[in-house]
Amino acid sequence: MKKLINKIKQSGQKSVLVIGDVMLDEYVFGEVSRISPEAPVPVLKEQKREWSLGGAANVALNCSHIGCKVDLIGIVGNTDRPAQKLISILKQNRISIDGLVRSNDRVTTCKKRAISNGHQLLRIDSEDNKQLTKNEFLELSQKIDLLIKPEMIILVSDYAKGVLSKEVLSKIISTAKKRKCIVLLDPKGKEFNKYKGINYLKPNYKEFCLMLDSYGLSEKDSIIDNGKRICKLLSLDGLVITLGEKGIQFVSKDEDFSIPAYKKEVFDLTGAGDTVLAFLALGLSVKLPIKECLKLANHAAAVAVSHLKTYAVSLDELIDKNIDLSEKIYSDWALLKIELDWLKLEHKKIVFTNGCFDLLHSGHIHLLREAKKFGDILVVAINTDDSVKRFKGKDRPIKSLIERAKVMAAIGIVDYIVFFDQDTPRELIEYLNPDVLVKGGDYKKENIAGADFVLAHGGRVKVIDYQDGLSTSNLVFAAKRVTC
């Protein structure tokens, strides 16, 4: 998985277009301690509210979190509160709202859930699933013409709320074919002929069974045989059937294979299909074979369902750094920069600190803990052996560079380790361009190597006080005194 993720990251940022039913998910969390005297129902004492993107908006969020440049086409109410909240969250996550149609003829789809102790008590839906008005269709058509670019990946998320009519889908499919795009679609409802001509269809097993019923196919036949028949009927390049705990089954005219599910504790299945769609798109955008795309998507879905509420999975979460600590260590600056640039696309804040870290002590741990508080990702730059000797003397370092790096990698709060051979890390800082530069000691900011560069580029510089009496030199002196 590490090699696969690196290949994706090295390919650069990709543009995707998401089209479909956008929604807002609202969560009311509280405590239940009594039954209502009015009716035999629990009384929820509200403690907090949270909002998440749902439907096509959640697909867009997933794409944004894995570093894609995302445009979103859908319909929201013109003035209702859910529309305002949804647009606010989209903006916070740098998802373009230029493709949204503001309609006076329908409300924004909103699903409100009441939750206590991790259990959903009730869901209240507010929605319109009526046919599009003439003006809504014309505006959607204009957005489709404007935002579908040549050879892009298009994700279509159908929740049967009225946006993806037969006419709208026909417009999407014809425009995509003219511009040589790949279209992935998550279906809903019982009318499947309207999807004819898209590239990949992603039903869950229940939706797949509805398709069998719709076309008079028998469930007694295998998924593969029926899948091939549906691919032929709808002129599909492939059918991706999500099977929950059984994983994913892929079927096309030429091949078929299954991807077993990853074993993870499931907290909430909400939005798992959206995660599969987003990661499948990412894999296809970098021209991975379909099997590798689905392995990636399946792994991401396992991460998504292990969280409560809809959850946007990042690429970095698919790599378990505890398996091999050496995966944190980079000798090649260029490879680390690719990692950090991708994390910045996921809106992560990068913190940089540096030192020899010869004999690690509690003062170092204090510095690292305080540094991590200033951002999301902590990069520790370590002087090479030659660099240490030049300003510490020929007897230093006591421990080799590799030993120092291995010890540092074992510290959980450290995300990446990189080496530098120069007298100061200035060149490395200018190359990586971190958001926050942290230094331990009694330095003035203007005397810290690279501080002027970080500040000039909108970053911050922080100085952490050393803890009295804690230094590698003092430890060496004490050890020599004991041996004497």
pLDDT tens for residues 282-329? 888 888 888 888 888 887 777 776 655 566 676 666 655 444 567 789
| Residues 210 and 138 placed together within one structural domain of the fold | yes
Q: Is the pLDDT of residue 265 over 80?
A: no
- Termini Cα distance of the chain: 52
Active site residues: 274
Q: Is the pLDDT of residue 338 over 90?
A: no
φ and ψ at residue 458, rounded to 5 degrees? 85, 10
Which residue range(s) make up the domain with 456?
325-483
**Is residue 59 scored above 80 in pLDDT?**
yes
In 45-163, which residue ranges form alpha helices assigned H by DSSP?
56-65, 81-92, 134-147
Dump pLDDT digits (tens) for 362-380.
Answer: 888 999 999 999 999 999 9
Please give the Cα distance from 247 to 224 (Å, whole number): 14
Predicted local distance difference test score (pLDDT) of residue 266 = 42
Q: What is the pLDDT of residue 310?
A: 61
Q: Which of 115, 94, 89, 102 is nearest to 32 (CA)?
A: 115
Answer yes or no: do 303 and 440 share one domain: no
| 385 and 261 assigned to the same domain | no
DSSP 20-44: E-EEEEEEEEEEEEEE-SSSSSEEE
Q: What is the CATH number of the domain that holds 363?
A: 3.40.50.620
CATH number at residue 146: 3.40.1190.20
pLDDT of residue 123: 95
Co-location of 308 and 335 in the same domain:
no
Q: Verify that 208 and 342 share a domain, yes or no.
A: no
Between CA 304 and CA 64 the distance in angstroms is 15
Q: What is the mean pLDDT of residues 396-413?
A: 89
Could you tell me if 293 and 379 lie in one domain? Answer: no
Domain boundary among 318, 344, 370: 318
Asked whether residue 443 carries a pLDDT value surpassing 70, the answer given is yes
Confidence of residue 270 (pLDDT cuts 50, 70, 90): low
- How many structural domains does the chain have? 2
What pLDDT, on a 0 to 100 scale, did the predictor assign at position 268? 41
* pLDDT score of 271 more than 60: no
Strands (E), 260-390: 329-330, 350-355, 377-383
Distance between CA atoms of 413 and 451, rounded to whole angstroms?
Answer: 23
Q: What is the mean pLDDT of the chain?
A: 87
Q: Which among 414, 396, 325, 410 has a CA at the least distance from the CA of 359?
A: 396
For 207, 371, 379, the CA distances from 251, given in Å and listed in that order, are 15, 49, 43
> Same structural domain for residues 333 and 242?
no
**What does the pLDDT look like over 119-176, one tens digit per residue?**
889 999 999 889 999 999 999 999 999 999 999 999 999 999 999 999 999 999 999 9
pLDDT value, residue 144: 97
**Which ranges in 433-471 belong to alpha helices (H)?**
451-456
Tokens of 428: 């490395």
Quote the pLDDT of residue 316.
Answer: 66
Whether residue 266 is found in the same domain as residue 309: yes
Given a cut of 90, is residue 440 above it in pLDDT?
no
Report strand pairing: 119-126 vs 109-116. Answer: antiparallel
Q: Is there a single domain that holds both residue 66 and residue 120?
A: yes
**Do both 238 and 340 map to the same domain?**
no
Dist. CA 231–CA 252, nearest whole Å? 6
pLDDT at 346 over 70: yes
| 306, 379: one domain | no
Q: How far apart are CA 414 and CA 379, in angstroms?
A: 7
Long-range contacts of 260-265 (CB under 8 A, 24+ apart): 261/298, 261/302, 262/298, 262/299, 262/302, 263/302, 264/302, 264/303, 264/305, 264/306, 265/306
| Residues 436 and 476 occupy one common structural domain | yes
- Average pLDDT for 258-263: 74
